[in-house]
């Protein structure tokens, strides 16, 4: 039995996927009206319309009831809500329960990754697995092919969860680099906003490809500084997720960049999206981390300047093009 915490598009898609595979799931959300609609409609009309909940997926109004008896608690909340959710879960968790998270974000003020926040709130008794990779909720729920990474410091936990998720058209791989996998999942959202800004300004496919490639270099730079393995960023949770999120308009983060580049104020663009764009918060967190770690992350920094300092998208992207020349191996090119 799974307890899925967060009934947005991705939480619902995972519940549907697990249910189709024959794994019962209880689906809880903090919004009681939303849960009531799930119960009456047997469908998430707000975030994942047109997809019926399998009979073994049961929406729950009470968190305690959702968690009771679960083998695995799977968190799919906005990253900004994770610490508070861990605190609510702590008295409800019992020894032997498995804990995993499919949210992709960083805690803004602390810069902590999800497994680090979990360790602070829950201690060492509940190691966390991270689920990440290039996945859109609508496609997973529809049974279309996808591949994901399940990462944990506990090989037993990663293997157990991968076996449960590896079903139908979803292929699950395991990794021991939870830091790298979490960094990739969080920071690609910032670069995706940058890709949206570039495309919204009409800069074209060449510019998008360059931004994706140099954005990946920034992700690797930050991830390695935080303790991740460089090789992890060439995998599903790094390059795979980045390529998907930068190139397809199903991405909320890419759409946010498109809207802002075309003149929509950030707050209005977020309202029009109707769902959380994690890159907004990740841009702030990455900005703080780059200062703390003394890292040069120019694309991420310019996305931060647009979203949080109100700078003009056209001017910041032109500023990127006017930076001093460098070789691809990061060594500055001497002036002629």
Q: Where are the alpha helices (DSSP H) in 97-203?
A: 114-122, 137-141, 155-165, 178-200
Sign of CA dihedral 139, 142, 147, 149: positive
Specify whether the CB–CB gap between 53 and 59 falls below 8 A. Answer: yes
Beta strands 48-52 and 43-44: pairing type?
antiparallel
Residues 6+ apart with CB under 8 A from 68: 92
Specify whether the CB–CB gap between 308 and 283 falls below 8 A. Answer: yes
Token pair belonging to 74:
């799977």
State the virtual CA torsion across 127, 133, 136, 140 in degrees, nearest 10.
-70
Secondary structure class of 126 (helix, strand, coil): coil
Token pair belonging to 131:
């689920």
Token pair belonging to 111:
């810069």
Number of Cβ within 10 Å of residue 56's Cβ equals: 17
Task: Give the catalytic positions in this structure.
Answer: 188
């Amino acid at each position: 039995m799974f307890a899925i915490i967060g009934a947005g598009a991705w939480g619902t898609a995972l519940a549907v996927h697990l249910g189709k595979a024959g794994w019962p799931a209880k689906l809880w959300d903090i919004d009681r009206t939303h849960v009531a609609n799930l119960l009456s409609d047997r469908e998430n009309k707000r975030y994942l319309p047109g997809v019926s909940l399998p009979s073994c997926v049961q929406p729950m109004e009470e968190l305690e009831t959702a968690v009771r008896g679960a083998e695995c608690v799977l968190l799919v909340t906005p990253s900004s809500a994770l610490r508070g959710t861990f605190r609510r879960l702590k008295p409800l968790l019992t020894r032997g329960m498995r804990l995993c998270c499919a949210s992709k974000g960083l805690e803004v003020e602390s810069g902590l990754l999800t497994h680090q926040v979990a360790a602070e709130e829950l201690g060492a008794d509940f190691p966390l697995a991270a689920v990440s990779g290039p996945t859109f909720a609508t496609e997973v729920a529809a049974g279309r092919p996808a591949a994901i990474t399940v990462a944990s410091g506990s090989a037993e936990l990663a293997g157990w969860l991968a076996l449960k998720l590896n079903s139908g058209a979803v292929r699950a791989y395991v990794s021991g680099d939870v830091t790298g996998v979490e960094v990739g999942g969080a920071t690609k959202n910032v670069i995706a906003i940058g890709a949206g800004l570039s495309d919204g300004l009409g800069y074209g496919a060449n510019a998008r490809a360059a931004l994706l490639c140099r954005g990946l270099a920034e992700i690797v730079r930050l991830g390695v500084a935080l303790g991740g393995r460089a090789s992890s960023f060439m995998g599903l949770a790094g390059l795979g997720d980045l390529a998907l999120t930068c190139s397809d308009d199903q991405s909320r983060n890419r759409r946010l960049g498109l809207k802002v580049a075309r003149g929509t104020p950030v707050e209005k663009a977020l309202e029009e999206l109707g769902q959380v764009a994690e890159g907004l918060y990740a841009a702030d967190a990455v900005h703080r981390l780059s200062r703390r770690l003394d890292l040069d992350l120019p694309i991420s920094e310019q996305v931060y300047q647009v979203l949080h300092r109100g700078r003009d998208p056209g001017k910041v992207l032109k500023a990127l093009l006017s930076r001093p020349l460098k070789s691809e191996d990061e060594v500055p090119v001497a002036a002629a």
